[in-house]
Every structure is written in C-alpha cells, then in structure tokens.
Amino acid sequence: MEYTKAQPSGNSSLCRSCGQPDLEPFLSLGRTPLANGLLTAEQIGAAEDLFPLDLVFCPYCALVQITETVPPEILFRDYLYFSSFSETVLKNAETLVNRLIEERSLNSDSLVIEIASNDGYLLRHYHNRDIPLLGIEPARNIAKVARERGIETLAEFFGTELAHKLVSDGKLADIVHGNNVLAHVADLNGFVSGLALVLKGDGIAVFEVPYVKDLIDHCEFDTIYHEHLCYYSLTALSRLFERHGLCIQDVERIPIHGGSLRVFISKNKTQRENASSQRVIALLQEETDQGLTTIEYYRDFSAKVERARYDLLHCLKQLTSADKRIVAYGASAKGTTLLNYCGVGRETLQFVVDRSTVKQGRFTPGTHIPICEPERLLDEMPDYVLLLTWNFADEIMAQQSEYRRRGGRFIIPVPQPRVI
C-alpha cells in the first residue's frame, strides 16, 4: 500500500501508518494539557497550552491513533520520566536481557542498540556482561544521566537520517530494543525504515507496546495522552513492519503497563512453521474474529469512558462528603489525563506523592496539585490514596505496607473505582 507522510505537527486527517484518509473518530477527551508538563511554582499563574485529545481508527490498516501531533522537540527534549524509579520496569528489563543473552549467544563481538533508552535502566544489564551497546535517547537531561552511569548514549531522535549515520559508522545491531517508544513516534515510517537499516541480517528487534485490546476491554482511557500517538493491535503492527520488509516472528502478551505486546521482529520472511511463531498467526486470527480490525469494536468505548468518569466522581464525592481526606499516588502521565478529564483537582486531592525526586516540588498539569515525597503518607495518614499509577499497583502497595497496616486505603480508579 502506498502511504503519504503525515504532518510532523498539528492536526492531521491522514493515518500515521498507511497515510490513508477517512479516519473514523470514536472518542474525544476534550482539550488537555501535556501529560508530563509538570509545573514549577513560578509557572502556576501562567496560562497552560491545551491540545485536543481525540481518538480515531484507520479502516485500512487498523491503527488506533490520536489526531493531534505535538512537536517531539516540545515533548521529549527535557523529560521527567526516569525508568529506574520503577522496580517493575527494572525487573522486566533484567529478565528480558538475561534471556536474550542466552538465546542469542551474545558476547563482546555483538552490538545491542536501544531506542528511547532512558537512563540506561535496560542497557546496564548488557553493560554488566561486557556486551557492546548504544543508547539513543532524545531527552538531553536523561541521556546525561545515562552517560554518567557508563552507558554510551546519543541524545538524538531515531529515524532514517540517524540510521544511515550509524550504518556508515559500522554500527549494525544484533539486538534492537524499543520499550514503549513506538507509541511516541510521529514519523512512523521513517522510524521503522531506520530500524530495518540498522538491524543485521540475522538480528532481531524486540519491541514492547501497550496493547489496544487491553486498553479497550479494561477501559484504560487514562493511557491516552499526547505523547501516545498510536495504540497498537498486532494487526496494525504487522502491517506497519511488513511495509518496510520486516516480519514479526513471534509475539507475547505481557502484563506490564496494564497489558502489552512484546514482538520479535526480523528481516527473515521464511514460512512461520515453528511452534513459537504460531502465536503470531493465532493472535492475528483472534483479532480478526473479535473485531479489532473494524470500527465496530471501538464504537461503544466513549460510553464506557463516560461511565468510568461518573463512577469515579461519585466515589470521591461520597468520601469527601464523609469528611475523608484523600490524596493521590503517582504524578504520572496517565494521572494527568484522568484528573483533567474527570475534573478532579485540589478541592478533592490535598497532594500527590511520587518516588521520583525530579517530580517532587512541582505541580500537576492543569489541576495544580502539589507533588510531594511518599513519606508524607505516613506523616499525615490521609484516609484514602487515589492510585493514579495503577499499572504498578502491586509494587506500590508493597512499598506502602506500613501505611496500609495503619488503616490507610487505596482507590484503584479504572475500569471502575474499587477500594483496597
């Protein structure tokens, strides 16, 4: 299929993947601030930029996407999300790296590249095994931290231009990692074309993306924000990669981030006859059978989201009417969407706590709730904590066992609010 490159910024009526028009809308979350645009005290009085947050479906390649493209230079050059603050993310990375080192027999003659490598949370495990590596991280502040930890990192956006430069420098990869980056890419075709260039003939790319089926089925509407341009099914991924001569050889469903796909991509187009690659065939058929390739699957999502909003507001109103003190945990991107769409601010939540020291002392976008250190939960013992980072619920509640032992309770907001 021919494709036309979508506009790099602003609102586009063309599919980000196949370039076709006639995208079908099915959800609008209104105009919201940028999800990770945490404010300093000096910025509180200034007007915040708001952008439309509308979700559409492409009937040609089955890609779910938002219509607005905020320039990547605005979103990612100075970034406040550090992967190393999450024990769940760290464990997921370590387990995968150890597995790939053994399965692919990686050694000092290999090369591993990670795109959107953040603070070196994943590549450090290769570094500890003396396997050559290269991180590519556009956030200059985070790339600096990675380099200070001994992880070679380029502070660049990945695409065909950088890929050609890497190839000319002799940097062809045995493994290319991309965890939770593909949703953030404005120029999808340039990105995947570059991936095909830097991958060795027998190399593999291992990408993790949040799974759109879990988003829809579990009403995870708060994972929709301006950094997340696309929401992938295996069908949409397969069509994207095949356009650039790449093949998804295997797929796994993993629980991280509310439900994700881990795909293994190569240049090998041989028949999928081994047992593992049968998972690709089976999941593609399952998506067709369940309707993920048609707009009908998504049509009632808006009503589900509105119901989730109503239920959460009703729950919070009951608690505040009973003079219960409520705070929140996690100054996260998904928290920005949830709080702004639901209209929950300082009239309900006294403060937000977060483990990330770079977020503490700032304020949440749009709602201007102060962000504090987690120790404040024990200092003040609020009655309830609204868990905005519900995707790390087990990890956080284990960390806050003393708060719970003293009688504190958590509210999980989606798909329906429940108290733990």
List of domains in the chain: 83-298 (3.40.50.150), 302-419 (3.40.50.720)
Q: What pLDDT does 77 receive?
A: 67
410 forms beta bridges with 385
Q: pTM surpassing 0.85?
A: yes
In the predicted model, residues of the chain with pLDDT beneath 70 are 1-12, 77, 79-82, 84-85, 269-276
Alpha carbon 416 to its chain centroid, in Å, reads 21
| Runs of H (alpha helix) within 27-159 | 72-76, 87-103, 123-127, 140-148
Q: 234-242 vs 278-290: helix axis angle to the nearest 10? A: 120
Instruction: Report residue 324 as tokens.
Output: 């219960």
Q: What pLDDT does 79 receive?
A: 61
Q: What pLDDT does 228 receive?
A: 94
Beta strands in 142-215 (DSSP E): 153-154, 173-179, 199-210
Pairing assessment for the beta strands 371-372 and 173-179 based on DSSP bridges: unpaired
Q: What pLDDT does 270 receive?
A: 54
262 forms beta bridges with 208, 252
CB 208 within 8 A of CB 262: yes
Element of type H or E holding 400: none
Q: In this structure, which amino acid lies at residue 366?
A: G
The burial of 269, by beta-carbon neighbours within 10 Å (0-12 exposed, 13-18 middle, 19 or more buried), is given as exposed
Q: What number of CA atoms fall less than 13 Å from residue 406's CA on the CB side? A: 12
Q: What number of CA atoms fall less than 13 Å from residue 14's CA on the CB side? A: 17
Q: In this structure, which amino acid lies at residue 273?
A: E
Q: Which residues contact 288 (CB under 8 A, 6 or more apart)?
A: 235
Measured distance CA(307)–CA(174) in Å, rounded: 47
134 in helix, strand or coil? strand
Element of type H or E holding 80: none
Q: What pLDDT does 85 receive?
A: 67
Q: What pLDDT does 80 receive?
A: 63
Q: What pLDDT does 87 receive?
A: 85
387 in helix, strand or coil? strand
